[in-house]
Amino acid sequence: MATIEEALEIERLERDIFRGASTKTQLPRTFGGQVAGQALVAAVRTVEPRFQVHSLHGYFLRPGNPGAPTVYLVDRIRDGRSFCTRRVTGVQDGDAIFTMSASFHLGDEGPSHQDEMADVEPPNDLPDAATSMDPERLWAMREWEHWDIRPVPQERVTKRPGVVSPQQVWFRYRHPLPDDPLFHVCTLAYMSDMTLLGSSKVTHPDEPTQNASLDHAMWFLRPFRTDDWLLYDQSSPSAGFGRALTGGKIFDRDGRLVAAVVQEGLIRTLRS
């Protein structure tokens, strides 16, 4: 399967028009994280290097064809002294499949605080998916063979009062990546769509549903590396009417909160 460098590869066709590569996949539709990651790479290519991504907000509009490339149209909404804003539309066969706004910031001085990371089992104490006999984990391992993804067993997930659907997942990219911080941001955008909607099924594990990401928002809070362990501490505060709200805080191994994610997804009951 594709490396992250291949999955995020885009080609500049015009000043603000890019074409993202299609990659080998088992999935029937384009992985949402790849579309979001490529769209963010396209936005980054139109911004001065001194600006860093601090947030993105995207909507998945149509299923993408994984066998076809996606064209990304970038609108330069604002270039300010401290902030820049870009709007990106991903297009296949003349139809928009994804739209995203991304904001960039120079960075300033100000107060600092963060939530503490939960006391959670360390990743090295959990089994590598490559050694698993679980068919579902082996399938995911084939699709994302370059990622080391280690869910905390549900009976050992940190329980918090009032949180009805918690899930905790350690992950990292298996191979060394470039030092460019923006590459790690785009890589995390790719990864952030993986496993998050699954938190909505923690309390409904046996209910058959049709699942798909509907929208996705991220905030990048502190520097990090995606080729080192990150904890994705997830929950689903609400589900109903065929949709589920999910969210996650992403911590590095030192307990620094490096990113936050909110996503709404489709979890529609399968009709017989």
Helix (H) or strand (E) holding 6: helix 4-7
Tokens 């100000």 locate to 110
Tokens 């298996």 locate to 174
Catalytic residue (choose from 213, 234, 235, 236): 213
Known active-site residue 115 = no
- The residues facing 229 across adjacent strands are none
Pick from 269, 217, 272, 208: nearest CA to 245: 217
Catalytic residue (choose from 22, 34, 168, 263): 263
Ramachandran sector of residue 161 (left: φ over 0; alpha: ψ -120 to 50; beta: rest): beta
Q: In this structure, are residues 235 and 115 in contact, taking their beta carbons and an 8 Å threshold?
A: no
Q: Which residue spans within 61-207 are E strands per DSSP?
A: 70-79, 83-92, 95-105, 147-151, 166-173
Q: In this structure, are residues 86 and 46 in contact, taking their beta carbons and an 8 Å threshold?
A: yes
Tokens 């963060």 locate to 114
Known active-site residue 263 = yes
Catalytic residue (choose from 193, 199, 200, 234): 193
Known active-site residue 213 = yes
Active-site residues, by number, are 193, 213, 263
